Structure 1
Amino acid sequence: MPHITLGESIPPDTAHAISVSLPTWKANVGYEEGQKWVVDNMQTGYPRFFIHKKIQALAQAIVSKYAATPGLQALLLPNKTIAQRCVAFMTEKAPADVLEGLDTVHLVLDTSDPSAAPLKPIKPTVSAVLFQPEAFPYAKQYWQHTGDGVSSRRAEFCHSLLSQGLLVPDDSSKRSPRSSIRHRQKGPRRYQVHVSTDDDDTPATSNGNSPAPDSEESARFLEERFGRNLDISLAERAKAAIRRRIAGTLTHHVDISSHPLPEQAEPSSRGVAEGDIYLFPNGMSAIYNAHRFLLAARGSRKSISFGFPYVDTLKILEKFGPGCVFYGHASESELDDLEARLAGGERFLALFCEFPGNPMLTCPNLKRIRSLADRYDFALVVDETIGTFGNINVLQYADVVVSSLTKIFSGDCNVMGGSAALNPRGRYYQSLKTAAAELYQDTYWSEDAIFMERNSRDFASRIDRINANAEAIVELLASHPLVGRVHYPKLNADRANYEDCRLPTGGYGGLLSVVFKRREDAVVFFDSIESAKGPSLGTNFTLTSPYVVLAHFLELDWAASLGVDPDLLRISVGLEDTERLVGIFTSALRAAEEAGKETA
């Protein structure tokens, strides 16, 4: 991938990109410190941390049109139920004096307008929580931790409908816009609707040319050129295809636009049915909702966070419910401590862990945890994002398997998604199904599902290439004299735990972390390496990041106390030619060597 400037989207010229370029160590520190030379250049960012500019634009439009008092801000969520959860969270966490003016507005399709008829199947709704600027940090916590916010594609679509007068408050008899005249404007042709000439409710296709500004036109052209921009009427087919692909019942390439899926899927190779897989807007939403389902199914109990966690998983368990017990090393000695607690009478809702963990690639002993769970009555929730179901089978031990589809399942770094799979052989299966039937809402935006389905068609073949590339880079780094440690499932002390879950055809994944013996060498290596540099992982291109700086900048000492080096570099290996990739890493190592000689 060519050089990408500071703040530019990764991939470049992609309107809904997931990552953003932070090409130097200094830029990563500057981003965390909020330095203007970095922040002012940010065109985008990772979606749960950076509110996309298309979302900001719709939020401002809603505030301008519907806010009862000036100066308010808005956080956008998919529907009224989720907005009410956000309000409840803010009311619980924020001081009363910053909540003055807290309000909501719920926008729905104006079904009285005949031209809206083709859009009914996709249910374009958006809810805004309105608040004073001082309350923003509390609203942002809800957005970041739960993953419940609207996607940038939903915001873009709904903004178009709002500008055309097709999106209106669901309590319109009580709330009127500041302007009593509703202006109907023409939005981007991509989203213009038309009255159907027959009784078919199929939405208009979404691949028309848009009269948007040049930058947006360029981004949209790139997506269209690669066949990503499909008819939104295909959304339900796309979601079914994604669920079957996760279940293992759809392993071959199928073009859903020309070959509809059969009504009944063949038996699953993973032992899970399509109906036991739930789709969410992102991986964090899958974890948050798995926790909600468990609380509803089993009552209010503390959970266990086992292993060094992805930052928001721990926050969910701490802030939404009665709290959690944290074990940060995923070690056998910590399991000994947990077993002693359980034997002493303590009881828990569930144990949440990653397999492997991020960024140390540690693998907890799932077999032993399953035994404890059966003996002492708690659920096991495993996040398989890094290992991926193309390499490992954790469903044999877990009650719920969650995954961020945003990562390697998609690969293209241009769409978010998440999934939760219920184990039909698990002891809590029926109670979880009952809870899901009551609580689950499909808020996965139609366009996002279509992009995700298209991206994931070659998921299985990409896994093999990425596994091979990662092992080549691991071998290079582990043998270099400047490197102190490489974290990778194949090299770690707990490799036996990984092997216990590895599929016969599976590898060790595309994520690794490297710790240099000297911080100075890590900085030069990072600044020199000719790869994309930004947040996220599992991309089809190699992506490098000083992960601990980005994820734990304000708690580096805490991370270090759990064995996570603050100068650790996380490398997500892509699909590049292996020889060329090894050359790129060799050049960066050589730059670190030369810089070290100059310093000496």
Structure 2
Amino acid sequence: MPGFNLGESIPPHTEHAVSVSLPTWRANIGYEEGEDWVIGSMATGYPRFFIHRSIQALAKDIIAKYGKEDSVAFLFPTRKVAARCVSFVKPRAPSAVLATLEVVHLVLDTANPQSKALRSLCPSISAVICCKEGFSCLKQYWQHTGDGVSSRRAEFCHSLFKNGLLLREVESETLTSPKPCRGPRRYQRPASLDASKPTTPSPTASSPEREVGLEETSRFLEERFGRNLDVSFVGPAKSAIKRRIAGALTSDRELSVSPVPENEMESNTRGVVNLREEDVYLFPAGMNAIFNAHRALLGARGSLKSVNFGFPYVDTLKILEKFGPGAVFYGHASESDLDDLERRLQGGERFLALFCEFPGNPLLTCPNLVRIRQLADRYDFAVVVDETIGTFANINVLQFSDIVVSSLTKIFSGDCNVMGGSAIFNPNGRYYSALKEFARAGFEDTYWPEDVMFMERNSRDFASRVDRINANAEAICDVLRGNDMIKKVYYPRDNESSANYEVVKVPGGGYGGLLSVVFHRKEQAVAFYDAVDTAKGPSLGTNFTLTSPYVLLAHYQELDWAAQFGVDPDLIRISVGLEDTEDIVNVFKTALKAAAESTAHQQ
């Protein structure tokens, strides 16, 4: 895995890779500065920041056919999502940009006989087009929300577009919104959108109409587009992912089109006996899960400010600040921060929700969820916890939360080749009914079927991978802590908030695969990073160790702001993988020697 060239995809030779190689400290700075020697070499990038080549190619062809010269287009999966983008842009873009703004909806050409075999996939694209001066404003929406199309959807729809099967929706049809498409009816379980409605049994396995339709679709996909996508398994795959996230799917069995036993949800590692599959929602990206959790709370509770508690992943705070009435930010996630929040609540201030990460990124700080839950119950606000870094194999935060969100792109997938996100509504939460009511009308299933299939396959061995990664991370942490060059190691096992972690740690769980390190001197950090023989690039939770100068990448334009909250600009974040423990420990020992030698040369 190590030894990547600059700009190479991580993993290598992977068309839909989630990460990209930035192998030197200088390359990371060059990326942030937009220098051609870096940007021009990049085969891909993190999908919410770098627009995948497949998406760019489809956007270019859409503009060529329906747009004007020198326009830009951002692609979204449905007309509703595109409308949200337009609503975001209108108050922010100059009038000259707004004058060029238009939306092109592309749908299947139902008059074409070949489209019949594709209807169960519901392929559609809504392109928001404007002059190039509007690029940065559209990009904000794309990046913050995770609402954009996935590269696999774009690739597939581009094939349809070039084959004349995806056409602009006629004007008369744009006046009414289409009904949500949920794929083949045979696999439409009583989705969470329909939880309150009477359940109609699915057609039986012997239904000739359903059998022929699914067989026809799969055969058409493989023969015409070379896709190994059996759509008959998309519904079961979603079900398996949801049950896995709920901690109820204990076996790694192959998917089957047979109904899943309902009693499989009766016990789960979340410790919530009445948790149902319909309480787990899937999204095309982790940030999209956070964005939709915020949308749901605004819809369920009204327009109130939120609290961002703890130093955040960059776009979480942006969502809370830009979508709705704003946010109050507490950057340390400390007890004194909670004291201040309690004083505000006692003084009469009211909030929509408190959003936090457990542990936080990149300082691995663990907020006091017990106290937060007590304040939430007393002063009527929701608690949303992002468990991406801790993972539910190590911690159980649902007991203290109204909504638990996670990026499935990370350790749940592990293979670094597909995006995904999830949100769980706590069925015992105060706002559960209101949230479910909003979800019935306000949530669309935009998770592309191919992405679903990859996520389900990748996550089958999730639990066993976490155990190995936990052990490797602790071993690396021990090596780093014992070195005189290192100023501080951040890891949930033994930091100032470790007692808060122990409260939610599950029996047999560990401390996760993420840690951060700060050296006493910048030149030591640079030499260490340049020498460490691991994959180096954005993202985390991969099956291989991935190292990054995280603060440079995430906060390059706001390093002084981040430093106010104890986030060192030269911090190095290490996402630990599945390598042999002795081998990966030696990799870091060798990098430490290189850092020591760099200092010796300067003395």
TM-score (norm 2): 0.91
1:444 maps to amino acid: Y
Q: What residue number does 2:431 align with?
A: 428
Q: What residue number does 1:72 align with?
A: 71
Q: What residue number does 2:231 align with?
A: 232
* TM superposition shift of 1:118: 1.8
Stretch deviating more after TM superposition (114-123 or 343-352): 114-123
Q: Superposition RMSD on alpha carbons, in Å? A: 1.8
Percent of aligned pairs with the same amino acid:
64
1:9 maps to amino acid: S
Q: What residue number does 1:152 align with?
A: 151
Q: What residue number does 1:450 align with?
A: 453
1:62 maps to amino acid: I
* TM superposition shift of 1:62: 0.7
Q: What residue number does 2:323 align with?
A: 320
* 1:250 maps onto 2:249 in alignment: yes
Deviations 1:467-494 (A, max 9, x none): 0000000000001111110000012111
**Contact 1:206–1:231 (CA<8 Å) still a contact in 2?**
no
* TM superposition shift of 1:210: 9.3
**Contact 2:527–2:595 (CA<8 Å) still a contact in 1?**
yes
Stretch deviating more after TM superposition (364-373 or 254-263): 254-263
Q: What residue number does 1:36 align with?
A: 36
* 1:507 maps onto 2:507 in alignment: no
Deviations 1:116-148 (A, max 9, x none): 112111101110001000001000000000000
Q: What residue number does 2:113 align with?
A: 114
Matches within 5 A, 1:299-378: 299-378=302-381
Matched residue of 1:527: which SS? helix
**Contact 2:232–2:257 (CA<8 Å) still a contact in 1?**
no
2:531 maps to amino acid: S
Q: What residue number does 2:184 align with?
A: none
* 1:200 maps onto 2:199 in alignment: no
CA distance in 2, matches of 1:411, 1:389: 15
CA separation of 1:388 and 1:591: change in aligned 2, threshold 3 A? same
Q: What residue number does 1:226 align with?
A: none
CA distance in 2, matches of 1:451, 1:90: 33
Matches within 5 A, 1:345-494: 345-494=348-497
CA distance in 2, matches of 1:74, 1:246: 35
Deviations 1:75-99 (A, max 9, x none): 0000100101101110011121222
* TM superposition shift of 1:264: 5.9
* 1:58 maps onto 2:71 in alignment: no
CA separation of 1:116 and 1:548: change in aligned 2, threshold 3 A? same
**Contact 2:280–2:423 (CA<8 Å) still a contact in 1?**
yes
2:88 maps to amino acid: F
Deviations 1:243-267 (A, max 9, x none): 0101112121121157663466431
1:548 maps to amino acid: V
CA distance in 2, matches of 1:452, 1:292: 25
CA distance in 2, matches of 1:163, 1:301: 46
Q: What residue number does 1:178 align with?
A: none
CA distance in 2, matches of 1:384, 1:79: 28
CA separation of 1:505 and 1:230: change in aligned 2, threshold 3 A? farther
* TM superposition shift of 1:71: 2.1
Q: What residue number does 1:223 align with?
A: none
CA distance in 2, matches of 1:578, 1:556: 34
2:107 maps to amino acid: V
**Contact 2:101–2:129 (CA<8 Å) still a contact in 1?**
yes
CA distance in 2, matches of 1:117, 1:257: 25
1:550 maps to amino acid: L
Q: What residue number does 1:519 align with?
A: 522
CA separation of 1:197 and 1:288: change in aligned 2, threshold 3 A? closer
**Contact 2:218–2:229 (CA<8 Å) still a contact in 1?**
no
* TM superposition shift of 1:201: 3.6
Q: What residue number does 1:576 align with?
A: 579
CA distance in 2, matches of 1:400, 1:434: 15
**Contact 2:333–2:367 (CA<8 Å) still a contact in 1?**
yes
Matched residue of 2:361: which SS? coil
* TM superposition shift of 1:211: 9.5
CA separation of 1:575 and 1:87: change in aligned 2, threshold 3 A? same
CA distance in 2, matches of 1:294, 1:240: 25
CA separation of 1:574 and 1:99: change in aligned 2, threshold 3 A? same
**Contact 1:474–1:486 (CA<8 Å) still a contact in 2?**
yes
* TM superposition shift of 1:529: 0.5
CA distance in 1, matches of 2:463, 2:219: 29
CA distance in 2, matches of 1:353, 1:268: 27
* 1:566 maps onto 2:569 in alignment: yes
Matched residue of 1:520: which SS? helix
CA distance in 1, matches of 2:536, 2:104: 38
1:76 maps to amino acid: L
Matched residue of 2:336: which SS? helix
2:537 is matched with which residue: 534, 537, 547?
Answer: 534
Q: What residue number does 1:100 align with?
A: 99
1:468 maps to amino acid: A
**Contact 2:222–2:229 (CA<8 Å) still a contact in 1?**
no
CA separation of 1:319 and 1:28: change in aligned 2, threshold 3 A? same
CA separation of 1:468 and 1:497: change in aligned 2, threshold 3 A? same
* TM superposition shift of 1:170: 1.9
Matched residue of 2:570: which SS? coil
Q: What residue number does 2:197 align with?
A: none
**Contact 1:303–1:324 (CA<8 Å) still a contact in 2?**
yes
CA distance in 1, matches of 2:173, 2:433: 42
* TM superposition shift of 1:207: 8.4
* TM superposition shift of 1:332: 0.3
CA separation of 1:341 and 1:233: change in aligned 2, threshold 3 A? same
CA distance in 1, matches of 2:467, 2:539: 20
Deviations 1:363-406 (A, max 9, x none): 00000000000000000000000000000000010000000000
**Contact 1:408–1:537 (CA<8 Å) still a contact in 2?**
yes
CA separation of 1:123 and 1:207: change in aligned 2, threshold 3 A? closer
CA distance in 2, matches of 1:80, 1:91: 16
Number of aligned residues: 564
1:8 maps to amino acid: E
Q: What residue number does 1:124 align with?
A: 123
CA distance in 2, matches of 1:260, 1:22: 45
* TM superposition shift of 1:173: 6.5
CA distance in 2, matches of 1:197, 1:385: 38
* TM superposition shift of 1:559: 0.6
Matched residue of 1:237: which SS? helix
* TM superposition shift of 1:101: 1.3
Q: What residue number does 2:190 align with?
A: none
* 1:276 maps onto 2:279 in alignment: yes
CA distance in 2, matches of 1:566, 1:210: 50
CA distance in 2, matches of 1:53, 1:104: 21
**Contact 2:287–2:316 (CA<8 Å) still a contact in 1?**
yes
* TM superposition shift of 1:309: 0.4
Q: What residue number does 2:141 align with?
A: 142
* TM superposition shift of 1:208: 4.8
CA distance in 2, matches of 1:97, 1:54: 29
**Contact 2:159–2:225 (CA<8 Å) still a contact in 1?**
no
Matched residue of 1:236: which SS? helix
